[in-house]
Structure 1
């Protein structure tokens, strides 16, 4: 049994080798001069290098059994994720240069990935699908609502915009690989596995991100109710990033779901224009 690839035919998963933040270090509170927003994004970034290597391993495990166009899409996915990992290593180093100790955050991410690696390959792939859905949802909302990154320093904003663009471009690759890998399962078993893994992954994701955020806020003496009240209102308010992500879980566990039910192609075009417009003049020339 094979599944048709539902990724739009005219979508190209672009291989971009872009570098950010090599010249000017961002301020300590690089997002809106706000310790809460800065801590949240730094906490998220601290998980990416180890997390994206895990995604690459989980998807690569099934590559050789796939046919075109999925096999080429997997190769493009692997390239993009390797670039994301590299740039977040740099971003995390900048957070350290600004005075943050992110060792505990990185260690928490490593322990979570070590736990995930003890699961079967198909469970690891299902976990990757769940986390790719989260990142694609966060990416969509970050690009659709410019205020989410509007207060960030220029290079940090461009880096997160670039990451968001590519998360949308390859948002269906892990999912299509999962459909291929589970092609001999019954539809119910395939749905049940990805849904259960999504729920467990969601719980762990929230725990890791908010523990990491608390660790970073504590270093600023801001791990208090006033800071958390403002941050949670920003994250879970009517247009909040985490509100959108939480609601997207219900979309994901719907039988028959596919990531390209949400067509982001027009959003991608607009975001790419913004990314290009934000280049320093010497780079744009």
Structure 2
């Protein structure tokens, strides 16, 4: 995917390795919000749209285990990075732990709506266990790639109101909050990768991250499509209606896949950094949308420091 880097391009990759492109004034702020009370009142909670609802539901099933994998991946490198980045990793871990907890609750509500998510959970478990069997550097680059995919989807969800138009308010707030934090910490895994591979040949760095992204993006599209189709089947939509309806949703209607293709391909550019696109205004936009509705639910305690299960962050010290 993409053209092999020129000498000038590899020089830019090396330059990117030696300094972080994350905005200096960016503050990663874990927001310990609790959406557990937000039961799903209707199966098609995104404005009655079965395809949009299944899209978000299938994504949610990946988060509890996926977020915990990202935490473990970055924890391996926390003592090898400079103090500023170490603090960002800790904030990343707090955010991801809370995301895992909240989407576990969301997924339990899916089960209350008589969705069987066993097949989807098995798929994400298989993928995560495969990656966990790789080297710590491979786990980090996989985390970096998936974080980029998550961040560009998050930017699309916030930036295009059509995605959550007429969605149930509680669920809309959950997704806007999660999306805003995915944007906020989108450079952490990448900056960790740049630091721990600073002595690598830049062409090797480009090849490793590009080849991983090619594999992961294809696997992501395949597995999410499989999961969405399974949820649609349980919602009474199958066969050609499901396939054509899903293709229209992903590529032509609200088009979350088509609209994120360009920022996905940007990853393959030598010298790329996630903050080449400064979408911090989307964080503020999302906050303005959800904050007023959930202020009464903000936990008074500080964000959790440990997660041994869904509710407890593993210590990072």
TM more than 0.5: yes
* CA deviations over 1:154-179 (Å, ceiling 9, x no partner): 11100000000000000000000011
* Secondary structure of 2:125 counterpart: helix
Unaligned runs of 5+ in 1: none
Distance 2:201 2:63 in 1: 33
Question: Quick check: 1:237 aligned with 2:252?
Answer: yes
Distance 1:258 1:66 in 2: 18
Q: How many residues align?
A: 283
Contact preservation (8 Å) 2:39, 2:109:
no
Of 71-80 and 20-29, deviating more is 20-29
Question: Quick check: 1:113 aligned with 2:140?
Answer: no
Name the residue aligned to 2:83: 68
Flag the 1:277–1:263 CA change in 2: closer, same or farther, 3 A. same
Contact preservation (8 Å) 2:197, 2:205:
yes
**Shift of residue 21 of structure 1?**
4.2
Distance 1:167 1:178 in 2: 17
Poorly superposed stretches of 4+, deviation over 4 Å: none
Flag the 1:227–1:125 CA change in 2: closer, same or farther, 3 A. same
Q: Comparing both chains, which one has the higher relative contact order based on Cα–Cα distances under 8 Å and sequence gaps of 6 or more? A: 2
Q: TM-score w.r.t. structure 2 length?
A: 0.85
* CA deviations over 1:206-251 (Å, ceiling 9, x no partner): 1211111111111122023223323322221275211133332320
Please, what is the CA RMSD of the aligned residues?
A: 1.7
**Shift of residue 24 of structure 1?**
4.0
Q: TM-score w.r.t. structure 1 length?
A: 0.94
Unaligned runs of 5+ in 2: 1-13, 299-317
Question: Quick check: 1:274 aligned with 2:289?
Answer: yes
* Secondary structure of 2:294 counterpart: coil
